[in-house]
Amino acid sequence: MAGTLLGCVHHELPDYVAPPRRVPPPRIKDELRLVIFGDWGSGKIEQYEVAQGVDAAARELGGFHAGVFLGDNFYPAGVDSVGDPLWKEFFEDVYDTEYLGGLTWHAVLGNHDHAGNPQAQIDYSGRSHGRWSMPWYFYRQDFGPAGGDPLLTMLAIDTDRNLEYQPQQVRFLHSEFEKLKDAPWPVIVCGHHPLCSNGNHEISSEMRRQIEPVLNEAKPMAYFCGHDHNLQMIERPEMLHVIAGGGGKTLHGVDGHTDGTLYKMMQFGFAVLTVRRDGAEVQFRGKRGNPLFRYQVESWVH
């Protein structure tokens, strides 16, 4: 019952005030914009500030088409049910802003979520009125214009070392990468734990042995994750690694010296992924929505 107990303790979030209007997400045409971050459900003022920064960035950019949560969605121990008060306090209220109130958030699980009832986060997809999407522990999500080819495919995975369905997940990844090997659009993978980092919160050795070889062979455009509570971008020959764990929990240091590091900062914030037919860009923004770093990704173009 850890989720309910946390919902009863004091948090730092301001009182909920409904936005005067909710701007619906734009239709996807020739460009896709996703906001991506993890490690957010803290109940701290920083979680609220990051949400406000995402709203400000959405206003500046013309809206996001969707959001992606990278796990550790509810601290300290997930939720206990679909009726847990944390759904309203930490998710529904915080991300109900002018530009986020109509957004669908595609989520993966983190280690803190597994400490509660992970099935409740899957089941909440059916009662969130389109705001929360987690069809299973691992899944595929295509983003693109109605009736056209996708602009992007996201493969969402579960990197918890105790995942019961790990053999099925490995088969899922092999199968989906085989289907997508000739696709003229990029593929990203989204999980919780980093495969490389300038911090000290990487993936477990068991999951590394089973997940990393599959990704290195398939060479998706990027792997997005959290778990390290900071912002990092690391370029490797196999893929770009984007650590966006600045969603609102206490920050972690970035004192390591990992090969291929393009950016590392002990800072709250989020990633913005923009995809077009001829290229893609990943940028980091701070908790006020201010640009911090941007990187053009073109290696996937056929």
Q: Find out whether the peptide bond into 118 is cis, omega within 30 degrees of 0.
A: no
Q: Report the distance separating Cα 268 and Cα 285, nearest Å.
A: 9
Question: Would you state the torsion angle of the CA atoms of residues 238, 109, 11, 67, taken in this order, to the nearest 10 degrees?
Answer: 60
SS3 160: coil
Q: Report the distance separating Cα 302 and Cα 283, nearest Å.
A: 23
Show the tokens assigned to 103: 């957004």
Domains and CATH numbers, the chain: 2-297 (3.60.21.10)
Helix axes 205-218, 166-180, angle to 10 degrees: 10
Q: What is the pLDDT along the chain (302 residues), one digit of tens a residue?
A: 333 333 344 589 999 999 999 999 999 999 999 999 999 999 999 999 999 999 999 999 999 999 999 999 999 999 999 999 999 999 999 999 999 999 999 999 999 999 999 999 999 999 999 999 999 999 999 999 999 999 999 999 999 998 999 999 999 999 999 999 999 999 999 999 999 999 988 888 989 999 999 999 999 999 999 999 999 999 999 999 999 999 999 999 999 999 999 999 999 999 999 999 999 999 999 999 999 999 999 766 54
- In terms of residues, how long is the chain? 302
Residue 7 phi, psi (nearest 5): -65, -20
Show the tokens assigned to 183: 């696709």
SS3 45: helix
User: What is the per-residue pLDDT across 237-270, written as a single tens digit (0 to 9) for each?
Assistant: 999 999 999 999 999 999 999 999 999 999 999 9
Question: What is the structure's pLDDT at 298?
Answer: 76
Residue 233: which of 292, 289, 279, 278 has the closest Cα? 292
Question: Checking DSSP bridges between strand 31-37 and strand 66-69, what pairing results, if any?
Answer: parallel
pTM summary value: 0.95
Q: Does residue 138 contact residue 97 with C-beta atoms inside 8 Å?
A: no
User: What is the per-residue pLDDT across 82-111, written as a single tens digit (0 to 9) for each?
Assistant: 999 999 999 999 999 999 999 999 999 999
